Amino acid sequence: MKRKFTWLLSLTLVLSVFLAACSGGDDKGSKGSDKPAENKDVEQVLNLINGDAIPSMDPSKATDEYGFQFLGATMEGLYRLGKDAKVEPGIAKSHEVSKDGLTWTFKLREDAKWSNGDPVTANDFVYAWQRAVNPDTGSEYGPYMMGGVIKNATEINKGEKKVEELGVKAEDDHTLVVELANPTAYFESLTTFGTFLPLNQKFVEEKGDKFATSSDTLLSNGPFVLENWESTAQKWNLAKNDTYWDADTVKLEKINYVVVKDAQTMVDLYEKGEVDRASLSSDLVDQYSSHEDYTIKADNSVFYLKINETRNKALANKNIRAAISRAFDKESLVNTILNNGSLVANGLIPAKFTPMPDGSGDFREVSGDLVKYDTAAAKEFWEKGLKELGTKSVEIEFLGGDTDVSKTMNEYLANQLQTNLPGLKVTLKQVPFEQRLDLDKNQDYDLQLAGWGPDYLDPYTFLSLWITDGGNNKMGYSNPEYDKLLEETTTTLATDNEARYQNFLKAEKILFDDAAIAPVYQRAGAFLSSPKIQGLIDNPFGPTYEYKWVSMGSAE
């Protein structure tokens, strides 16, 4: 969507939203999933719910799960993810990698077009990637995804080098050459992520500040085009893109979306046949768990409390943060409030996400439980913190979403913290999704429940969030030893995966020794989903779902 991603920055608790994945392949045609038999008697229209409006459709500026989901549907990078996260051909037909792993040469297909008829060329990638790291653009994901990966990306974003010095060039219209800063084992999967999508330079510059603010100011080069959309829209649709190079593979003619935040309303729409998929809140799971359309979707997204150390003096205190991270019952939260298959999280890296390269087991199992619910320990840390602050009480503001599920979650966590930490007063601030993104970006919050879905299959996609002054840090956390361990995984240890993972284990431990964040749960979702939906792919990272290979069949 990941993710992130995921991240995939995933700040929503509406469980009907989506995460995603990344990869590459040869030019044997698109076969991302076992193609279902097309039922020509069934209308190829899919009706879905989205948890909120789409904040941005600009690949350089999108930071959230919604944006990356719709970018993934309407656009295409060098590669895209297919079934079982297998890399499938995108705009690239093939690629070669130099022996030192630093130079990647991509051969692009000649039949790829933008929705206005312009050809998709190597320069479209050069322009988009330069734009993403250009400090004038103000991209969060550009520096995060490309820094330390693409040659000179970090230096350009800091203003130390010119954008033309980025390690990407168009050798000709259909040959893209990329120079990496360090060997990057997961680079192929990175190219599927939204930040690495191409842009038509002429179109973007013609639209200026209006680019990507409405359907009329967007161009597509992927399976679908976005229609009837503007940034505040509550309804919109995706329509099949007839100019897409692989349009014959795309069976869906249209996907209609409506914003719904209330779980009961979602189910009501599903029961009426107005939508084909609806998430279930905890109070509805027991009622519908025996329904023939009931399903649970596991997820690699981890949710945690972000603790801003810069705005509230109390939260700059390590003992106060340590107390907060141990003062809420996670088991009750996942079993009662969520009740959808979600798991308790006692660390950052999700369970069953990535194995240790030395064969010692799953990363989460090897790293173990780093911070657990423990009221006795929480109160001990709390008393130490209050003494250090010279006070008997603390007030904090808890930033949360305004959806039905979010409000229940926010109230539960606030009550747990106030009950288990005497002298703490929590004030809830519950706002729409886009406003939460702005408040997070400006570090205008004390505490918030946030989540992250992976952008590629490597622990770095999670742990790099907390590098000092990182684009997604946004809470003032800094530890030089942590930074050094992460830097080594992309430089001196880049080709030694076993050593990289040992650094990851050490870094995760430091994160929780510092009580930087408080892990809450690893997400899953309970849904009612129409059996007519065939060929749907759940991505482990990047856009949550892939619709290129979906078709609507008979429910029988």
For residue 185, the one-letter residue type is: A
| CB 374, CB 326: distance < 8 Å | yes
CA terminus-to-terminus distance, the chain? 31
pLDDT score at 556 = 55
Q: What is the DSSP string of 283-329?
A: HHHHHHTTSTTEEEEEEEEEEEEEE-TTT-GGGGSHHHHHHHHTSS-
- 191: its two tokens: 């190219």
Question: Virtual CA dihedral for 368, 369, 371, 372, nearest 10 degrees?
Answer: -170
Which CATH superfamily includes the segment(s) 299-525?
Dipeptide-binding Protein; Domain 3 (3.10.105.10)
Spatial contact of 399 and 414, defined as CB atoms under 8 Å apart? no
Single-letter residue type at 223: P
What pLDDT is attached to residue 231?
Answer: 85
Output the pTM of the full model: 0.75
> What was the pLDDT predicted at 471?
81
Looking at residue 179, its pLDDT comes to 98
Computed on alpha carbons and rounded to an integer, the radius of gyration of the chain in Å comes to 23
Domain boundaries, given as residue ranges, for the chain? 45-261+530-552, 299-525
Bridge partner list, 522 = 302, 343
Residues 6+ apart with CB under 8 A from 225: 74, 115, 215, 218, 238, 239, 240, 241
Give me the residues paired with residue 349 across strands.
none
pLDDT of 1 reads 32
- The domain at 45-261+530-552 falls in which architecture? Alpha-Beta Complex (3.90)
In angstroms, the CA 128 to CA 120 distance is 12
- Would the CATH topology of 45-261+530-552 be identical to that of 299-525? no
- Average pLDDT by consecutive 10-residue portion of the chain (556 residues)? 31 30 32 49 94 94 92 97 88 96 97 98 98 96 92 96 98 98 89 96 97 97 97 94 98 97 94 96 90 92 96 97 98 92 96 92 97 98 98 97 88 98 97 91 95 89 94 93 96 91 98 98 94 93 93 80
> How many Å apart are CA 9 and CA 550, to the nearest integer?
26
Residue pair 341/48 in contact (Cβ under 8 Å)? The answer is no
